[in-house]
Amino acid sequence: MAAQAEDVLKSRMAVARRVVDHIRHGTSDLAEAPMVNAASVYTDPERHAREREVLFKQTPQFVCLSTELAEPGAFRTFDETGTPIVVVRQGDGSVRAFLNICVHRGARLVREAEGKAKRFTCWFHGWTFAADGRLAAAPEAERFEGGMAGRDHLISVPAAERHGMVFVVPTPGASMDIDAHLGAFGEILAGLNLEVAERVKTDILPVASNWKYALDTYGEGYHFAALHKQTLAPYFRNDITIYDRYDRHHRIGFVERDWEKWVDQPEESWGVRAEAAGIHYLFPNVVLFAGSVSPGKTYLTIFRHYPGEAPGETKTYKTIYAFGGVRSEEHRAEVEAAFDATAHVVRTEDYVTAAEGWKNLTALPPGATVVYGRQEIALQHQHRALAEAIGMPLPQLNPIAQAAE
Ligand code: FES
Ligand SMILES: [Fe+2]
């Protein structure tokens, strides 16, 4: 653990040096060129259906932290991809996931959102399943004679656990290589110490926008000065981004105004903490935000974005955790207040804009585009990665320069 804290401190120092360098020179991490994207990526129902299938049913989905599924028998349902799933902690400590569908006649087997149970009994006719999915008992089983063949087990789906996070692929028969999915980003996630993060508060933020348009609001600080004039701009610079890419995932850091004083101070006095920070984008739909809207305070907020059936429907599941666990009732109240502060900014500023902006995109003529500037580097990357995953043409980099050639 000590070695890990040292690694995190080293990486925070490296980031701090980049920050100071950017403050000194008036620079930022930037993309090579602006990137243009079709407005229809946010509005096209066919593309939307393809995203739901490939990105949400065939790609590893983060479900919850390990601490939210701590004890043997702990379970949690997961319906957000459209396929009903139940994830269960096994007696041997592993995690398994099943379709939350009774193999008798399809009733919803587990009806609570989460809890702890030794067995699951279907409320329709009372078939009972063990935590490992085996059928343990069925009333009047003898009356089914040969009809029970192949019904002695719930239908399983791939499940895995890494760095204190639980993942599933919500499709029976699918495979999951979670290490390949995370790649080098796994080490960054490990630095967040999620194994000891404790959930404090959770809520759903609905927004009448495309899920990617909502997700985009977490991917650039360029909008702080205008949209978050009163809430974030007083504390954070909008013109400096620290951007690190890890294959399909990335991490971005925004610069607190308070750090401007570092420019005139020796490195040793910066007071950089061995605490991970930044916006961590976990492909395709999750943002892990280590930090807070009040500078100097660090909490973990995880935003999971799910598309509805139509392109303009999104649900964001927002959950805040205390790093290292809740220390006292005061600490709990503080984390809850941090949750409310972020939720207020997201609801009244980001998501109001996301709903209006998305509706506007639907009113544009065919062939219309949007553009991401060089400072919106994370969004450029995110949209290329998403397009690539669903086999669509990649958005163009710097098309103006290309046209001039
Ligand atoms: S549908 Fe579950 S026991 Fe009949
Ligand atoms: Fe924002």
| Sequential DSSP letters for 278-325 | EEEEETTTEEEEEE-SSTT--EEEEEEEEE-SSTT-EEEEEEEEETT-
Protein residues with CB under 6 Å of any ligand 1 atom: 102, 104-105, 107, 122, 124-127
Domain 61-175 part of CATH 2.102.10.10? yes
Residue 1: predicted pLDDT: 45
Q: How far is the CA of 33 from the centre of ligand 2 (A)?
A: 23
Phi, psi at 51, each rounded to 5°: -60, -45
Closest by CA to 18, choosing from 292, 267, 193, is: 267
* Ligand number, closest to the Cα atom of 351: 2
Residues of the chain with pLDDT under 70: 1-3, 295-296, 399-405
Residue of 127, 129, 143, 151 to test ligand 1 pocket, by largest number of atoms within 8 Å of CB: 127
Q: How far is the CA of 318 from the centre of ligand 2 (A)?
A: 14
Q: How far is the CA of 256 from the centre of ligand 2 (A)?
A: 15
For the domain spanning 2-54+183-404, the CATH number is 3.90.380.10
Q: How far is the CA of 382 from the centre of ligand 1 (A)?
A: 43
Q: Which helix (H) or strand (E) holds 35?
A: strand 35-38
pLDDT tens readout for residues 188-226: 999 999 999 999 999 999 999 999 999 999 999 999 999
Domain spans of the chain? 2-54+183-404, 61-175
